[in-house]
Amino acid sequence: MTDSFRVGRAGSNGAAAAPSAGAAAAPPAGETAVRPGGETGVLPGRETGVRPGRETAVLPGGAAVVPSDRAAGAGEQADGLGALVGRVAGTEDSTPLQFAVALDEDSYLQLDDVVVTVRHIPGVGSILTSGVVTQVRARHEGASFGSDVFLISDGVLPARVQEIAEVSTTRVEPEVYVPPRPGEIVRRASGPERSQALYFDQMASRLPVGRGRDGAPIYVNMEFLDGTRGAHVSISGISGVATKTSFALFLLHSIFRSGALGARAVNAKALVFSVKGEDLLFLDQPNVRLDDDLRTAYAGLGLPAEPFASAGFWAPPIPDDQTGRPNVTGRTSGVEAFWWTIAEFCARNMLPYVFADAEDERNQYTIVIHQVATRLRLDAAPYGESGAVKIGDDVVTTYAELVDVVVARLSDEQTRQDWAGPVTGVGTVNAFVRRLRSSLRPLRPVIRADLTPGPRRLISTQDQQVTVVDLHNLHERAQRFVVGVVLAAETARKEDAGPGGLLFTMIDELNKYAPREGTSPIKEVLLDIAERGRSLGIILIGAQQTASEVERRIVTNSAIRVVGRLDSAEAGRPEYGFLPASQRTRATLAKPGAMFVSQPDIPVPLAVEFPFPAWATRRSECAQPPRPPAAPRQDASVFSRLPAPDDDVPPF
């Protein structure tokens, strides 16, 4: 044991052990030593300053840093540069893509910190290597047994606490891929160095998506979101904990209000399908929990802490209600009821979306579906003003009546061949009829011609920036029908209009509409959007609990991948192979509001935290809750609208 061996780490294991008699502790490199006789001088091999032949590196912003061997204390900050945290470790192999950092006693690094180090190569110059901390380990150097920790803490055994941080390289400038040399100084990146390490300096249009662990903003390259170089977002995580919907809405808020889109933000639209309660019907209301701290958090990201100013809301009508009121309980002011008439159902070939289950395509009656849809388009003639049709001698005003007419045509020997196809067997026809009849209850609220059509009955994204379609009161089969029909209509509209304004389409529970196995009409629409939507200006923002259950081509075509809290079994799936091992483990512990964002520009996913919503996410969070729906009027006569005898006299 050497006399100068120190015990422990400052602040953790007490003072250093006293050296034995007659022995002197060696001073650190660069300090002067007292020689016998009282003379002072620099010890051999411990010269100060820059060694001969060592040049300084010029970093972004014009700051200069000594590549190595700079005599600086722990945590000392160079002019305009980040604090020194340690040196490249010599006990671990350094590679151009990964290296380890031995931390100074008074410094620390946490996961997701950004660090930089400089290596000088003769004839080439200084190489700046940047990276993100992916793991940190601490151990006693000098301990042999687990019980030695108690002896070390009591000062009996000499040892030292050493922390080692593993760093994954994100950028090398210039691109000379050599490993950082052991002993090179490592600094925590900040300011221009941090922007360079994370490629923020090369993003022509930066979109803030939250704050990093260091409190500084994290950006996404807008060119990989607006279709310029890529498109689409995939968000995965456990329901209720991963805050997938909250992050997707924050992303939309940032897209519209950050200025990343520039002048294109005026024509940009968002189409949101809501399947979890009425939470999204209050996006235009400020959150009652909005305070100065939250406003400061939004301002730090360059965003206003405001609700969505331009929003429209649609919900299905109440079943068996002839007034056409939307089927919502928390709010009716500003909510429109949507449905399709029988004439629109027949003319626009909507029957295939009734059979949107993946299992439907695996059966033989798919040929019957398309044959019947063709007959409805050719034989159904508009009848009346409410959207009814006449097929032969039958007038159809409800979905139930339409089903009865189709079944009658398929059961008649004389008309079956025209409606089912010339070679279709009776068994196949009967299977189609069973599936058609099972759609009566789910679809009758949204396919009807017994209501007076209103001016805003059809879902449209034209008159507002954010369009919310509430589906939570519909059967799952009806939800698939609505999503399929609306997306098909928007895709056709964009094809006719040409690439103009962007349409961001947010779909929750994407695995229901585009499952990994099987095929269906709605899945084909989503695949079409994923593969060529960027050329049409349609951007898909899909959220799902398990990316492993979503069609692989949709996930693969998503340039931006976001992960929240994951189930441990799901985290081990190959769909999350872009996450380092440490982030996969952390994803099982992530708190609400914490996400991991992967984008093509940066080789390592970044951990971000986004602020609490500035808009209300439920009725109780509204500063001024919208009025509840009025109770149904019992007296529907025309005289019920006359003023009562005790009413005030009108002021005219």
At residue 626 the predicted structure's pLDDT band, cuts being 50, 70 and 90, is low
Q: 182-204: per-residue pLDDT in tens?
A: 999 999 999 999 999 999 999 99
Average pLDDT over residues 345-368: 80
Q: Which range, of 39-48, 290-299, 557-566, averages the lowest pLDDT? A: 39-48
Task: Report how far residue 466's alpha carbon sits from residue 313's, in angstroms, rounded to the nearest whole number.
Answer: 9
At residue 358 the predicted structure's pLDDT band, cuts being 50, 70 and 90, is low
Contact indicator for 79, 66 with CB cutoff of 8 Å: no
Task: Report how far residue 78's alpha carbon sits from residue 118's, in angstroms, rounded to the nearest whole number.
Answer: 14
Rounded to 5 degrees, φ, ψ at 456 are: -120, 40
Residue 501 has pLDDT above 90, yes or no: no
DSSP string, 98-127: EEEEEEPTT----TT-EEEEEEEETTTEEE
Predicted local confidence at residue 619, as pLDDT: 85
Q: Which region, left, alpha or beta, applies to residue 576 given φ > 0 means left and ψ of -120 to 50 means alpha?
A: alpha
At residue 63 the predicted structure's pLDDT band, cuts being 50, 70 and 90, is very low
Q: 74-105: per-residue pLDDT in tens?
A: 344 444 467 899 999 999 999 999 999 999 98
Tally Cβ neighbours within 10 Å of residue 400. 16
Tokens 């380990």 belong to residue: 137
Tokens 């340039």 belong to residue: 559
Average pLDDT over residues 317-329: 88
Alpha helices in 552-644 (DSSP H): 552-556, 568-571, 581-587
Task: Report how far residue 196's alpha carbon sits from residue 78's, in angstroms, rounded to the nearest whole number.
Answer: 18
Contact indicator for 364, 426 with CB cutoff of 8 Å: no
Predicted local confidence at residue 363, as pLDDT: 65
Tokens of 415: 């008309």
Q: Which range, of 297-306, 369-378, 379-388, 415-424, averages the lowest pLDDT? A: 415-424
From residue 572, give the alpha-carbon distance in Å to each of 216, 274, 490, 600. 30, 29, 37, 22
Q: What is the mean pLDDT of the chain?
A: 83
Taken in order 588, 590, 592, 595, is the CA torsion positive or negative? Answer: negative
- Dihedral in degrees, nearest 10, Cα atoms 315, 320, 323, 325: -20
Task: Report how far residue 265's alpha carbon sits from residue 190's, in angstroms, rounded to the nearest whole number.
Answer: 31
Residue 642 has pLDDT above 80, yes or no: no
- Residue 11, exposed/middle/buried by CB under 10 A (0-12, 13-18, 19+)? exposed
- The percent of residues in the chain predicted with pLDDT above 90, rounded, is 62
- Domains of the chain with CATH codes: 59-202 (no CATH), 206-338+453-621 (3.40.50.300), 342-450 (no CATH)
- The percent of residues in the chain predicted with pLDDT above 70, rounded, is 82
Alpha helices in 40-191 (DSSP H): 148-153
Residue 237 has pLDDT above 90, yes or no: yes
Residue type present at position 153: S
DSSP string, 36-50: TTS-EEEPTT---SP
Tokens 């949107």 belong to residue: 356
DSSP code for 77:
B
Predicted local confidence at residue 359, as pLDDT: 57
Task: Report how far residue 454's alpha carbon sits from residue 584's, in angstroms, rounded to the nearest whole number.
Answer: 51
Predicted local confidence at residue 627, as pLDDT: 53
Predicted local confidence at residue 401, as pLDDT: 95
Predicted local confidence at residue 297, as pLDDT: 95
What three-state secondary structure class fits 339? coil
